Amino acid sequence: MRRTLHLLMWTLSGLVLLAATVLIGGFAWLGLPETGAGLSAKSLCSGVFVAGRRADDVIAADLIPASGLMHLARLKVDEARQEVTASMLWSRERRARALPGLGCVLDPTPALEASAGRFAAAAPGRQGVRVTGPDAGAPWPATDWSGIDRDAVAAAVDDQFRDDGDAAGRNTRALLVLHRGRLVAERYGPGFDAATRQLGWSMTKTVLGMLTVARLAEQGQPLTLPAVDWVDPARRPSWLDRWRSDARARITLGDLLYMRDGLAHEEGYAPWGAVPRMLWGETDVGAFAGSAPAEAAAGSRWRYLSATTNLLSALLRAQFADDPGYWQYPRTALLDRIGADSLIIEPDATGTFIASSYGWATPRDFARLGQLILQRGVGSDGRRVLPEAWWTIATEPPALPAGTSQPEAQAYGAQLWLAGSPGATACAAGGSLAPADPAAPALPPDTMLLSGHWGQMTVVIPSRDAVIVRLGMTTDRTRFDRCGLIRRIAAALPTH
């Protein structure tokens, strides 16, 4: 009997050891420790040196809620160098550093660090780190309350902050409502205020769409231009040459703007998925995105892909004689012209903007972007900022025409969600966009949406002359009813 028990114990121990070996081996094979270290270093660097938050708060409120595996990260913050290093289990050490004018960059090359220094010297005052907040205490026009249900707006705002500071809850960090260009409501969560830059995640895609259309208009180039032809030969990414010999040669700039390029990418967010690999496992997001083969004919299939936006970002980079010209372009073409001084888009290790994900701004500057959309590309001073064609390109034709086998494509314009498209979208549980559900209450038909991971959104409703900005970190998407909030605010405002 005793011998049998011993044999059983040894067998169980062996099975446990084997399972642990397989688990650890699979963990390593998937590259998760290195990706996790990259996520940790990059997120902590940006949280401290771009958003200006305390390192302990970023770890406790951002890293750990994002993944319990972040407990395994070994982190070091170097204030003097504005740098964070991280490793996880047996991974190599990953380094993220705040570069002047560019924000935090993961594993920057020496060449990039040198270029960033020259960029900062040529554009003083555009440091992009340790922002004090251009909006801190700045007055906005007095609100005209005629026709607004003030109590309903206040109740909707209060409801978003009922679980203040609960990382597992709704975790709203900022909520702003603009009506007729004036602040109707503005509130912040614990540890955040008007001067705190926050991460917009995929809201950055819309900014990249604006910049792309602006550059095309400057050059007089059409959306039908093949992507392989929209480059200066001296600045052509090497991966683009391979496109010329296969079906990818037929992908147009319009296909990329509307996310119908047909490339074999997936929008996977699991730790081993394509998006984490691109953001924290690769050094060149353009090359990663451009390496995918053609899977469907260009223009025939819609698929929401962060990789597609980063392809556009890499192609936009090739339109400038040097990187400083590219890095400065968001400011000269857009941000300086609407007073959005805080907004920066962080690049990868080679210098390409990670426009799928890494745009940081104060909530008021996200509101300024929304107001620019509301005014069809015209600034608050009455001067045109975006070309007239931008409005039509971004908002009127959906990604695919009506009647296709992908009704969800009716909810997408050019790097912008057409969230109120009649018959095309409705709000599903958790606030995600999905094919229409007849039982779901409709949003105002003209609702447009900049949407980001974990509940970030800038909402534009022309029929209400309204912009709504909500920023937070809702890791459980069922805790935040995105479309419910939009409906409540819209119902409290007069029809324009």
Model pLDDT for residues 4-27, shown as the tens digit of each residue: 555 555 545 444 333 333 333 334
Same domain as 106, residue 245: no
The whole domain housing 54 covers 32-122
Q: Which of 97, 71, 103 is nearest to 84 (CA)?
A: 97
According to the model, what pLDDT value does residue 138 have? 60
Q: At what angle do helices 323-330 and 110-122 cross, to 10 degrees?
A: 60
Query: Same structural domain for residues 376 and 248?
Result: yes
Report if residue 478 sits inside a domain. yes
- In 10 A of CB 68, how many CB atoms? 8
pLDDT at 420: 86
Low-confidence ranges of the chain (pLDDT < 70): 1-31, 123-139, 422-441
Q: What is the pLDDT of residues 202-253, one digit of tens each?
A: 999 999 999 999 999 999 999 999 999 998 888 999 999 999 999 999 999 9
Q: Are residues 95 and 226 in the same domain?
A: no
Helix (H), strand (E), coil (C) string for the chain:
CHHHHHHHHHHHHHHHHHHHHHHHHHHHHCCHHHHHHHHHHHHHHHHHHCCCCCHHHHHHHHHHHHCHHHHHEEEEEECCCCEEEEEECCCCCEEEEEECCCEEEECCCHHHHHHHHHHHHHCCCCCCCCCCCCCCCCCCCCCCCCCCCHHHHHHHHHHHCCCCCCCCCCCEEEEEEEECCEEEEEEECCCCCCCCCEECCCHHHHHHHHHHHHHHHHHCCCCCCEHHHCCCHHHCCHHHHHHHHCHHHHCEHHHHHCCCCCECCCCCCCCCCHHHHHHHCCCCHHHHHHCCCECCCCCCCCCCCHHHHHHHHHHHHCCCCCHHHHHHHHHHHHHHHHCCCCCEECECCCCCECCCCCEEECHHHHHHHHHHHHCCCECCCCCECCCHHHHHHHHCCCCCCCCCCCHHHHHECCCCECCCCCCCCEECHHHCEECCCCCCCCCCCCCEEEEEHHHEEEEEEHHHCEEEEEEECCCCHHHCCHHHHHHHHHHCCCCC
Residue type, 216: L
> Given 80, 106, 122, which residue is the final one in a domain?
122
Angle, helices 388-395 vs 203-219, to 10°: value is: 130
With respect to residue 55, please indicate whether it lies within any of the assigned structural domains: yes
Q: Are residues 103 and 210 in the same domain?
A: no
The reply to whether 359 and 467 lie within a common domain is: yes
Asked whether the beta carbons of 350 and 187 are under 8 A apart, the reply is: no
Asked which of 122, 140, 160 is the last residue of a domain, the reply is 122
Tell me the C-alpha distance between 37 and 40, whole Å. Answer: 5
The total number of structural domains that make up the chain: 2
In this prediction, residue 434 carries a pLDDT of 44
Would you say residue 143 lies in a domain? Answer: no
In a domain, 165, yes or no: no
- For residue 15, being part of any structural domain is answered with no
pLDDT at 402: 79
Nearest to 203 by CA among 84, 367, 68: 367
CATH number (domain holding residue 459): 3.40.710.10
> What local confidence, expressed as pLDDT, does residue 168 receive?
84
Residues 93, 226, single domain; the answer is: no
- The residue out of 71, 94, 122 marking a domain boundary is 122
Are residues 471 and 360 both part of a single domain?
yes
On whether both 287 and 435 belong to a single domain, the answer is yes
Rounded to whole angstroms, the Cα distance separating 33 from 245 reads: 37
Asked whether residue 371 is domain-assigned, the answer is yes
How many other C-beta atoms lie within 10 A of the C-beta of residue 480?
Answer: 21
Q: Is 156 contained in some domain?
A: no
Q: Strand 426-427 and strand 198-199: pairing?
A: unpaired
Residue 310 near residue 291, CB atoms below 8 Å: no
Do the Cβ atoms of 384 and 378 come closer than 8 Å? yes
What's the confidence (pLDDT) of residue 233? 86
- Shared domain for 343 and 236, answered yes or no, is yes
Q: Could you give the count of Cα atoms lying within 13 Å of 408 in the half-sphere of its Cβ?
A: 12
What is the model's pTM?
Answer: 0.91
Q: Are residues 108 and 209 in the same domain?
A: no
Do 209 and 354 share a structural domain? yes
**Residue 6 counted as domain residue:** no
